[in-house]
Amino acid sequence: MNRVIITAVIKTARLPFLFLTLVCVALAFSLAEINQAGIDTVSALVIMITALSAHITINILNEYMDFKSGLDFETVKTPFSGGSGALPEYPEAAIWVLSTAIFTVLITLFTGLWLVMQTGVELLIAGLAGLILIVSYTPWINRHPLICLIAPGMGFGPIMLGGSFYVLAGEVTTSLIFSSLVVFFLVNNLLVLNQFPDIDADRKVGRKNIIISHGINKSIFIYSLFSLAAGMAIVMAVYQQVFPHLSSWSLGPWLLTVIPVYGMIKHRNQIGEHKIYLATNVLITLLVPLVLALSFILS
C-alpha cells in the first residue's frame, strides 16, 4: 500500500471528527460512574472500538459515495463541510477506501455482537439500528428530509451513548434519557449548519435535506428550536436533581449558540465563507456533553 492510498484512507476517515465519538463514549462512562455501575476494562475498550469503527465507517462511506455521485467535485471544502477532497485528488485510491469501509464495518459488526453476547439481546435493537443508519445514510437517508434531520442525533445520542451506557449499567435511567436528548439535539444541529454551504451541490445530486426541502428560514428556526430543547433538557435535569448542580456549567458553552444563529441569519448559504460560525457550532457540540461528563465525575 503506497503513500497515496494511505493518505486517501486517512483523510476520508476524517479523524478530527472522531472527537465527537470520544466525547459521547466518555459521557456514557461518566453516567455509569454516577449510577454506581462498575466499568469493566475489557467492555469499555470494546465499546470504544465499536463506536470509533462505526464513526469511521460512516465517514468513509459518505466520502466514497459522494465521490462516485460527483458531489465531491461540486462542493466548496471547509474544515467542517464539503468533504475532505481526498478522492478527487487521489481517484486511484477509491477501491482501497471502499475496502477500508468494509473492513471497519466488519469490525463494528463483530465487536457489536460481542457486546450483545455479554449484555443481552436487548442491545441488539440499538446495534441493528446503528448498522442500518451507517449503510443507508448517504444513499437513502440524505434523500428524506425529516429522517436526514434526526438521523445524526439518533446515531450519537440514543444509539451510541445509550448503547454504551446500557452495556455498562444494564438499564435505562432518567439521567441517560436526558443526556441522550442533549446529544440528540446538538448533533442534529451540527449537521444542519454544515449543510448550509453545500445547498446547491447537494441539490444537484438529488439530496433532499431539510434546507433544500423547507428553505433557509425554516432551517434556522429548526436549528434554534433544537438548541433551545438541548438547553431546556439540561435545565430540567438539574432542576429535578437528575443531574448534579455542577451540570449547570454546561449551559456556558451552550450559550454560544447565539453565534451560529447570528451567522445563519446574516450570511445564509454563504456562511461557509465565515468559518468562525461553523467552528463555534462544533465547539458547542463537543463542549456541552464534555462539561456534562466532567460534572458527573466531579460531583
Task: Give the pLDDT confidence of 95-116 residue by residue, as tens digits.
Answer: 999 999 999 999 999 999 999 9
Q: Cα separations (Å) of 270 from 168, 254, 298? A: 44, 24, 41
Residue 1 has pLDDT above 80, yes or no: no
Please give the average per-residue pLDDT across 124-147, as a whole number. Answer: 92
pLDDT tens-digit series, residues 47-68: 999 999 999 999 999 999 999 9
Distances (CA, A) of 248 to 161, 199, 234, 253, 290: 20, 36, 7, 10, 12
289 contacts 230 by C-beta, under 8 angstroms: no
Confidence of residue 73 (pLDDT cuts 50, 70, 90): confident
Confidence (pLDDT) at 2? 87
What pLDDT is attached to residue 55?
A: 97
Q: Could you tell me which of 87, 84, 89 has the C-alpha nearest to residue 68?
A: 87
Confidence of residue 172 (pLDDT cuts 50, 70, 90): very high
Number of other residues whose CB lies within 10 A of the CB of residue 229: 16
CA 57 to chain CA centroid, nearest Å: 12
Mean pLDDT across the stretch 199-228? 94
User: What are 108's three cell numbers?
Assistant: 463494528
Rounded mean pLDDT, 230-251: 97
Contact 27, 234 (CB under 8 A): no
What does the pLDDT look like over 266-290, one tens digit per residue? 999 999 999 999 999 999 999 999 9
Least confident of 2-11, 34-43, 270-279: 34-43
Work out the mean pLDDT of the chain and round it to a whole number.
Answer: 94
Q: What is the mean pLDDT of residues 250-267?
A: 98
pTM: 0.95
Average pLDDT (213-224) is: 97
pLDDT of residue 153: 98
